[in-house]
């Protein structure tokens, strides 16, 4: 995959990888990473992109502002800021390749892809991996001192990757997003939803909610799979590739 930098349309550069097959490419798959993630997806993006390219589809994976190699401070994260980043990427593809796009989002990246619904008529489909749509419920269950964040305090949070700061504006911003309305806007497009039945981070009911509030949606709840699909990555990829082949290839 080619390393690129997207500077158009906003402050700061967005780091990205892009891979376009040599054959005619009618669609480009834009991959949105999850909360605290990065475009490499622990290295899986490279082999996954090769498989997608073999279907005749391009792939662009990018880092949201403040994540990975992109400019910015992670502490400023919000759903609105990530939607703005994704719109910049969609515009970049439109300006440089003039191709329709398919949005693939993992976890909070899927929430971002959904929140961008209706932005551009060139969005042809959506893929949601382990995606929360009940955002307040999800994050209040994840953040131990959520009440302090709600009260206006900045929090230093520690996870397996280290520590990071989160501002109250992150939670406040969620109230500005009507996820059900976004689902209605996305409904004309084909949608693939894949979720682990043993997801310990995002309740599988989120996947059912997406399915029940959209049309043309294919749903897979994978028995035994956790949030990261630790032992089921190949199964998730195969389901995705088969759907892409049937729907867009």
Whether the pLDDT of residue 22 is over 80: the answer is: yes
The long-range contacts involving 90-95, CB below 8 angstroms and separated by at least 24 positions, are: 90/30, 90/116, 90/119, 90/120, 90/122, 90/123, 91/8, 91/9, 91/120, 92/6, 92/8, 92/9, 93/28, 93/30, 93/60, 93/122, 94/120, 94/122, 95/8
Structural domains of the chain in order of their starting residue, each with its CATH number: 2-134+178-248 (3.40.50.1820)
Whether the pLDDT of residue 135 is over 80: the answer is: yes
Categorize the per-residue pLDDT at 1 as very low, low, confident or very high, splitting at 50, 70 and 90: very high
Whether the pLDDT of residue 34 is over 90: the answer is: yes
Calpha distance 131→29 (Å, rounded): 17
- H helical segments located in the chain: 44-53, 79-96, 108-115, 135-142, 146-150, 168-174, 179-186, 205-212, 233-248
- Give the pLDDT score at 249: 83
The CA–CA distances, whole Å, from 147 to 12, 112, 136, 139 equal 32, 24, 12, 11
- Give the pLDDT score at 52: 98
Categorize the per-residue pLDDT at 216 as very low, low, confident or very high, splitting at 50, 70 and 90: very high
pTM: 0.96
Whether the pLDDT of residue 160 is over 80: the answer is: no
Categorize the per-residue pLDDT at 161 as very low, low, confident or very high, splitting at 50, 70 and 90: confident
- Give the pLDDT score at 158: 81
């Amino acid at each position: 995959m080619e390393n690129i930098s997207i500077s158009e349309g906003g402050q700061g550069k967005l780091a990205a990888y892009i891979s376009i097959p040599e054959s005619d490419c009618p669609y480009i798959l834009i991959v949105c990473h999850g909360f605290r993630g990065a475009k490499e997806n622990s290295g899986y993006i490279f082999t996954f992109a090769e498989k997608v390219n073999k279907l005749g589809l391009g792939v662009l994976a990018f880092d949201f502002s403040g994540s990975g190699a992109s400019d910015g401070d992670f502490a400023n994260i919000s759903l609105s800021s990530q939607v703005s980043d994704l719109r910049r990427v969609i515009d970049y593809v439109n300006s440089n390749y003039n191709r329709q796009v398919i949005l693939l989002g993992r976890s909070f990246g899927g929430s971002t892809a959904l929140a961008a619904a209706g932005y551009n008529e060139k969005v042809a489909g959506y893929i949601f991996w382990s995606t929360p749509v009940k955002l307040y419920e999800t994050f209040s269950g994840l953040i131990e001192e959520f009440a302090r964040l709600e009260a206006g305090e900045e929090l230093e949070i520690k996870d397996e990757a280290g520590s990071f700061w989160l501002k109250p504006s992150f939670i406040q911003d969620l109230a500005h997003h009507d996820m059900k309305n976004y689902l209605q806007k996305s409904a004309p497009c084909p949608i693939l939803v894949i979720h682990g039945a043993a997801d310990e981070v995002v309740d599988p009911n989120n996947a059912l909610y997406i399915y029940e509030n959209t049309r043309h949606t294919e749903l897979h709840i994978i028995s035994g799979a956790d949030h990261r699909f630790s032992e089921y990555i190949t199964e998730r990829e195969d389901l995705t590739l088969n759907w892409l082949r049937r729907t867009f290839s």
